[in-house]
């Protein structure tokens, strides 16, 4: 079977690529390969599902602003019933004295890009959020609008439903190999024994993207990173609470009548887990997360988790930024990988960018040149400082 485009990975990034290819007028055949059709272990559906403009580089801000515009015209785009429960509650990123210069520099970049972010000192924050302890806090950056959280599964289903009307072939399988003929990839092998010929291959394989690139003989510094997410109840309900990011990296936000929280496990370090490891590290809450929350929000002193889950980041070990666009030598192999925790919120913009490359030979909406593979080949980091 021959396809003009084969997309490896059918969650939000791959689905966005397929969707925007059709929106840009691509009429050729498209195969969307996904090994987990229920998305039970997908980074998309296991995300804490939030969107922000508080990044350190303009390109990341622009990618998220594209998605924000989509959210605000969701019903116009996907139909009157489209709803992802978007709550524009904002982010509040806190910094101590040591982190203040970076917070200020990031804020200047964000405001220059049109983001509605306030930089407030500890006194102003206490006045705005009476439940917040600002001990050891110098300042915080608060998103008054254009930031918040949403239902990741609902977002994915909107794209998947839209694809059913756009002549996309959904294939349930795992890719086991990629064929090459010199400077071109020519097809993929599947675990069901099938072989698909391909004019273009798009790597949208999330945490498995490095492995998929290796099938084509290409190096990509993207590995899984395990992230635990905990749900807890609290007696006090703070209706004005944004998504709060402590200087320690621990975050917390409301989710209906409960709260969700998480953060990296300091004992795991910068090590890729077994890709099948979705076991919750319960001691992480008691030993690492709870002490931070109880200190930062005294009303959370007596909390316990009621449930939890684990998701995997597609972590770019070079610079924690996405890799977007073609390989410079194997030019019909395209990357949409390595977003290191902000892929869900940027997926529509990435899909649009890949579609523009295919259809027009260049970027038209957002210039993603800085995210290109060339920096990977050179070992030249294009680092995002605000990774949560």
CA dist., res. 388 & res. 152, Å (int)? 17
- Determine if residue 229 is left, alpha or beta; phi over 0 gives left, psi from -120 to 50 gives alpha, anything else beta: beta
DSSP 249-309: S-EEEEETTEEEEEE--TTT-S-PPPTT-----HHHIIIIIHHHHHHHSGGGTT--EEEEE
Extents of the domains making up the chain: 2-49+153-221+318-378, 88-146+224-315
Among 3.40.50.1820, 3.30.9.10, 3.90.180.10, 1.20.210.10, what is the CATH number of 88-146+224-315? 3.30.9.10
C-alpha span between 331 and 316 (Å, rounded): 21
CB 228 within 8 Å of CB 307: no
| Matching fold, domains 2-49+153-221+318-378 and 88-146+224-315 | no
Given phi > 0 = left and psi -120 to 50 = alpha, else beta, which region is 39?
left
Please identify which residue in the block is written with the tokens 């190999």. 177
Taking every pair of C-alpha atoms in the chain, what is the biggest distance, in angstroms?
Answer: 65
Which CATH code for domain 2-49+153-221+318-378? 3.50.50.60
Query: What distance in Å separates the CA atoms of residue 374 and residue 347, rounded to the nearest whole number?
Result: 21
Q: How far apart are CA 17 and CA 306, in angstroms?
A: 36
**pTM more than 0.95:** yes
215-266 pLDDT, tens digit per residue, is: 999 999 999 999 999 999 999 999 999 999 999 999 999 999 999 999 988 8
Q: What pLDDT tens digit does each residue of the chain (388 aa) get? A: 999 999 999 999 999 999 999 999 999 999 999 999 999 999 999 999 999 999 999 999 999 999 999 999 999 999 999 999 999 999 999 999 999 999 999 999 999 999 999 999 999 999 999 999 999 999 999 999 999 999 999 999 999 999 999 999 999 999 999 999 999 999 999 999 999 999 999 999 999 999 999 999 999 999 999 999 999 999 999 999 999 999 999 999 999 999 999 998 887 766 788 888 999 999 999 999 999 999 999 999 999 999 999 999 999 999 999 999 999 999 999 999 999 999 999 999 999 999 999 999 999 999 999 999 999 999 999 988 888 7
């Amino acid at each position: 079977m021959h396809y003009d485009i084969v997309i490896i990975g059918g969650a939000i990034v791959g689905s966005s690529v397929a969707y925007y290819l059709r929106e840009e007028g691509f009429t050729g055949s498209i195969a969307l390969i996904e090994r987990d059709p229920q998305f039970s272990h997908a980074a998309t559906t296991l995300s804490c599902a939030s969107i922000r403009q508080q990044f350190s580089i303009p390109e990341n801000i622009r990618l998220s602003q594209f998605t924000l515009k989509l959210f605000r015209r969701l019903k116009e785009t996907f139909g009157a019933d489209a709803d992802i429960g978007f709550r524009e509650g904002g982010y509040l990123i806190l910094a101590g004295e040591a982190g203040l210069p970076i917070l200020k520099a990031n804020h200047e970049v964000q405001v220059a890009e049109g983001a509605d972010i306030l930089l407030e000192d500890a006194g102003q924050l206490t006045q705005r959020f009476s439940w917040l302890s600002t001990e050891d806090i110098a300042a915080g950056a608060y998103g008054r609008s254009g930031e918040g959280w949403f239902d990741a599964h609902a977002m994915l289903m909107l794209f998947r439903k839209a694809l059913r009307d756009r002549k996309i072939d959904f294939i349930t399988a795992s890719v086991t190999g990629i064929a090459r003929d010199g400077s071109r990839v020519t097809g993929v092998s599947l675990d069901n024994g099938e072989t698909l010929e391909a004019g273009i291959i798009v790597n949208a394989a999330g945490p498995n993207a490095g492995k998929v690139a290796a099938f084509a003989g290409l190096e990509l510094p993207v590995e899984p990173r395990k992230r635990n997410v905990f749900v807890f109840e609290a007696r006090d309900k703070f209706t004005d609470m944004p998504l709060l990011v402590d200087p320690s990296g621990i975050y917390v936000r409301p989710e209906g009548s409960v709260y969700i929280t998480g953060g990296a496990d300091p004992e795991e370090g910068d090590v890729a887990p077994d890709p099948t490891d979705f076991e919750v590290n319960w001691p992480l809450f008691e030993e690492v997360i709870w002490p931070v929350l109880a200190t930062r929000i005294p009303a959370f002193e007596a909390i316990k988790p009621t449930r939890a889950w684990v998701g995997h980041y597609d972590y770019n070990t070079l610079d924690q930024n996405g890799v977007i666009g073609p390989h410079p030598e194997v030019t019909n192999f395209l990357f949409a990988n390595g977003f290191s925790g902000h892929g869900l919120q940027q997926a529509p913009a990435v899909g649009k960018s890949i579609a523009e490359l295919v259809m027009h030979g260049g970027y038209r909406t957002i210039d993603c040149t800085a995210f290109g593979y060339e920096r990977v080949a050179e070992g030249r980091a294009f680092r995002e400082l605000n990774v949560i």
